[in-house]
């Protein structure tokens, strides 16, 4: 598509006023353009919904909500996969001054119950009856929860569900709505949402975000990265994740772009081919998994295929540097059209072939992965932020992209380096505080209004480089301090490893707990003559030594401290369900250490290999 066919239609922060005001302004401006694209599993087709359709639907939801007896400031929660109904509920609730509390569908029932109780949620929208059945037992004692709405439910509900007087089916509930109430929220600085953080080290904290917080960040992002009416987003990060909510939901409304909702992560590859998105917002794990598959496929191919792939990435990376004006053109660039046709184009076509920009956030993107995709022609921009900052603080741009950095500060955001090299921030997106937790608020935001990110960083030529995490430093018995995060990321790039945790606090040397890739386990066990179904096979010293050697290969560019001497192997993945991952898929370090405490004591008791 020619650039002359790309059109901008940005709604300003002032023109929006509030998040509902943003939605209403978009409905007025472009009522007949496509707002959302969804898959109808019954008809087995993708269906488009215009902004006019969305406006009418939100009015129905607003009408039904108005008869629930809720007052501005009351909390309502949503427990649903991404869909246009998520947007309808969110907009209708905010128009009435209600505070939306998003929940992760895959979160543990106990944590969901804690959030509902802590936020004193009055009304809960649930996508599936089966989801409610999973969380109902831990929600029975929640006195504040007066209404549960089910979007999708079987014709014959179980006795447990149908006997609960709080439950209504959304289809029936919408039909019984009252008259259309007037909009009750007009203050941009009013509380719009309470977003609970992942809680890697303890109970989740409720981050209070205003309308202005999220509006200002979305608009600042649009001053850094152009977004057009013709853009098509593919949404698959959960909308309960603040990055997806701000950048994948409110930002497209502000720009007038279309959002397509992926059917599931398992069907993401098919949806990319069908939807052909121009914009993709993802966490690094998505790119890491694709990278791992590519490496696994290359291992099965002959040497010339390896060489051709490496040549493509190298020439493509040089091409990128030339475009960034960091390298002069060379004759080797004449090879690119052939390499693009033979290698790069085949990979980018699997992403739909129309990708204009891909944004990675939520965790560090390994430089090896970034250079590989950029070399293949995938324009990845890494950004950085926190839930507490709505969430983006910095991002690379297409014109000034250094994938080793997390970009430059958004417009209106001030960043500086404090004590212990900690990155401090002041931003229009800064939260109002933690819900019911003044002590935690005072701990993260100082008297001068600087938010302490907890991340160590340096700033060079405006670019921010994250160098470590203050609280995640391992201190060895000799006093040496080791930041494990980058090591774990590098180790997990090995296609034999799915998950990793580096261990060594208070010890004299480092070890690692590795969750092996189950797809490669049978072949690995066969190679060493091991029974793949016997638990003791994972303690075979030959196997352990081989995995230590593979780790050393992954860490060969790291400083001398990065030496892992022993490993603990497991096949059981760390998940949200078993309490070892947060809903945003971050490893819970302390629970993992507790789970493997006996194995850790055993390997340290036997000394290093």
Residue 486 has pLDDT above 90, yes or no: no
Across the range 456-477, mean pLDDT stands at 88
CA 406 – CA 451 distance, rounded (Å) = 18
Position 250 confidence tier, pLDDT thresholds 50, 70, 90: very high
196 within 8 A of 436, measured Cβ to Cβ: no
- Cα gap 115→94, rounded to integer Å: 19
Nearest to 517 by CA among 484, 493, 541, 546: 493
Which pLDDT value is given to residue 159? 59
Dihedral (CA of 408, 411, 416, 422) sign: negative
pLDDT surpassing 70 at residue 1? no
pLDDT of residue 2: 41
Query: Above 90 in pLDDT, residue 348?
Result: yes
E strands in 236-320: 258-261, 279-282
Across 11-16, average pLDDT: 97
Task: Specify the pLDDT at position 517.
Answer: 92
Residue 453, domain member (yes or no): no
Residue 208 lies in a domain: no
Residue 472 pLDDT greater than 90, yes or no: no
| Averaged pLDDT, 24-35 | 98
Strand order in the sheet with 510-516: 497-503, 510-516, 564-570
Residue 184's pLDDT band, with cuts at 50, 70 and 90, is confident
* Helix-helix angle 541-554:484-491, to 10 degrees: 110
- Lowest mean pLDDT: which of 170-174, 188-192, 201-205? 201-205
Which of 254, 279, 304 terminates a domain? The answer is 279
More confident site: 514 or 108: 514
Choice among 146-155, 225-234, 395-404, 445-454 with the minimum mean pLDDT:
146-155
Query: pLDDT grade, residue 570 (50/70/90)?
Result: very high
CA angle 141, 144, 146 (to 5 degrees): 95
pLDDT, tens only, 58-81: 999 999 999 999 999 999 999 999
Residue 170 near residue 60 (C-beta atoms within 8 A):
no
Number of domains in the chain: 2
Q: Between the CA of residue 23 and those of 50, 165, 174, 230, 271, what are the distances in Å?
A: 12, 33, 20, 18, 26
Mean pLDDT (the chain) is: 92
Local structure of residue 67 (DSSP, 8 states): G
Backbone angles phi, psi at 463, to 5 degrees: -85, 140
Question: Could you give the angle at which helices 84-95 and 19-29 cross, rounded to 10 degrees?
Answer: 120
Task: Give the mean pLDDT of 282-286.
Answer: 88
Q: Take residue 14 and report the two structure tokens written for it.
A: 């002032």
Residue 564 in contact with residue 502, Cβ under 8 Å? Answer: yes
Domain that holds residue 75: 10-186+225-279
Please check the confidence at residue 437 and state whether its pLDDT lies above 60.
yes
Bridge partners of 99?
A: 75
- Residue 484 sits in a domain whose CATH number is 3.30.300.30
Residue 69 lies in a domain: yes
Q: Is residue 544 part of a domain?
A: yes
Q: Are strands 99-103 and 380-385 parallel, antiparallel or unpaired?
A: unpaired
Does a structural domain hold residue 311?
A: no
User: What's the distance, CA 50 to chain centroid?
Assistant: 27
Mean pLDDT calculated for residue range 435-445: 95
User: From the centroid of its chain, how far is CA 357?
Assistant: 16
pLDDT computed for residue 381 by the predictor:
98
Helices within 276-378 (DSSP H only):
284-299, 303-323, 336-339, 345-349, 367-375
Residues 495-538: tens digit of each pLDDT: 899 999 999 988 888 999 999 999 889 989 998 999 999 999 99
Tens of pLDDT, residues 320-342? 999 999 999 999 999 999 999 99
Which pLDDT score is estimated for 3?
46
In a domain? residue 128:
yes
Confidence of residue 181 (pLDDT cuts 50, 70, 90): confident
Tell whether the model's pLDDT for residue 591 goes beyond 90.
Answer: yes
Query: Which of 279, 296, 321 is the endpoint of a domain?
Result: 279
Is residue 32 in a domain?
Answer: yes
Answer whether residue 449 is part of any domain.
no
Pair 411, 220: CB distance under 8 Å: yes
Q: Is the pLDDT of residue 160 over 60?
A: no
Distance CA 203, CA 172 (A): 36
Residues in the chain: 609
CATH number at residue 43: 3.40.50.12780
Please write the tens of the pLDDT for every residue from 123-143. Answer: 999 998 888 988 999 888 899
pLDDT of 296 reads 84
């Amino acid at each position: 598509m020619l650039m002359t066919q790309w059109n901008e239609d940005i709604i300003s922060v002032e023109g929006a006023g509030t998040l509902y005001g943003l939605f209403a302004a978009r409905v007025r401006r472009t009522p007949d353009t496509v707002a959302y694209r969804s898959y109808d599993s019954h008809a087995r087709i993708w269906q488009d919904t215009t902004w006019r359709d969305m406006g009418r639907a939100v009015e129905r939801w607003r009408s039904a909500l108005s008869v629930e007896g809720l007052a501005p400031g009351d909390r309502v929660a949503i427990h649903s996969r991404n869909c246009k109904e998520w947007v309808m509920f969110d907009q209708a609730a905010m128009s009435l001054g209600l505070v939306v509390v998003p929940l992760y569908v895959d979160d543990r029932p106990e944590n969901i119950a804690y959030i509902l109780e802590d936020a004193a949620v009055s009304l809960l929208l649930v996508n599936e009856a089966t989801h409610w059945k999973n969380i109902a037992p831990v929600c029975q004692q929640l006195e504040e929860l007066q209404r549960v709405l089910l979007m999708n439910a079987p014709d014959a509900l179980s006795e447990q569900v149908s006997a609960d007087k709080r439950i209504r089916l959304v289809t029936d509930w919408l039909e019984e709505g009252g008259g259309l109430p007037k909009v009750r929220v007009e203050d941009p600085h009013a509380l719009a949402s309470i977003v609970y953080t992942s809680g890697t080290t303890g109970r989740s904290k409720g981050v209070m975000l205003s309308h202005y917080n999220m509006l200002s960040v979305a608009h600042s992002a649009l001053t850094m990265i152009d977004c057009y009416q013709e853009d098509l987003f593919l949404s698959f990060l959960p909308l309960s994740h603040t990055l997806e909510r701000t950048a994948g939901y409110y930002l497209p409304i502000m720009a007038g772009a279309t959002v397509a909702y992926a059917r599931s992560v398992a069907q993401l590859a098919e949806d990319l081919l069908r939807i052909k998105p121009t914009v993709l917002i993802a966490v690094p794990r998505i790119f890491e998994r694709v990278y791992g598959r590519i490496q696994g496929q290359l291992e099965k191919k002959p040497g010339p295929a390896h060489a051709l792939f490496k040549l493509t990435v190298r020439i493509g990376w040089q091409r990128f540097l030339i475009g960034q004006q960091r390298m002069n053109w060379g004759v080797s660039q004449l090879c690119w059209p052939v390499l693009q046709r033979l290698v790069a184009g085949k990979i980018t076509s699997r992403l739909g072939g129309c990708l204009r920009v891909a944004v990675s956030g939520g965790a560090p993107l390994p430089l090896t992965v970034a250079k590989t995709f950029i070399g293949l022609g995938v324009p990845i921009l890494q950004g950085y932020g926190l839930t507490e900052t709505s969430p983006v603080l910095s991002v690379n741009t297409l014109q000034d992209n250094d994938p080793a950095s997390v970009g430059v500060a958004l417009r209106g955001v001030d960043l500086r380096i404090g004590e212990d090299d900690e990155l401090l921030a002041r931003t229009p997106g800064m939260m109002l505080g933690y819900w019911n937790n003044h002590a935690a608020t005072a701990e993260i935001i100082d008297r001068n209004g600087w938010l302490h990110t907890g991340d160590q960083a340096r700033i060079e030529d405006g670019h921010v480089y994250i160098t470590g995490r203050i609280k995640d430093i391992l201190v060895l018995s000799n006093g040496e301090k080791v930041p494990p995060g980058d090591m774990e990321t590098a180790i997990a790039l090995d296609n034999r490893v799915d998950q990793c945790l580096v261990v060594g606090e208070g010890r004299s040397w480092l070890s690692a707990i590795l969750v092996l890739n189950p797809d490669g386990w049978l072949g690995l066990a066969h190679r060493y003559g091991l029974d793949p179904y016997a638990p003791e096979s994972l303690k075979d010293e030959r196997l352990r030594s081989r995995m230590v050697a593979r780790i050393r290969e992954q860490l060969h560019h790291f400083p001398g401290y990065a030496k892992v001497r022993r490993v603990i192997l497991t096949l059981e993945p760390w998940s949200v369900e078993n309490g070892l991952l947060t809903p945003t898929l971050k490893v819970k370090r302390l629970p993992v250490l507790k789970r493997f405490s006996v194995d850790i004591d055993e390997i340290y008791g036997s000394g290093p290999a």
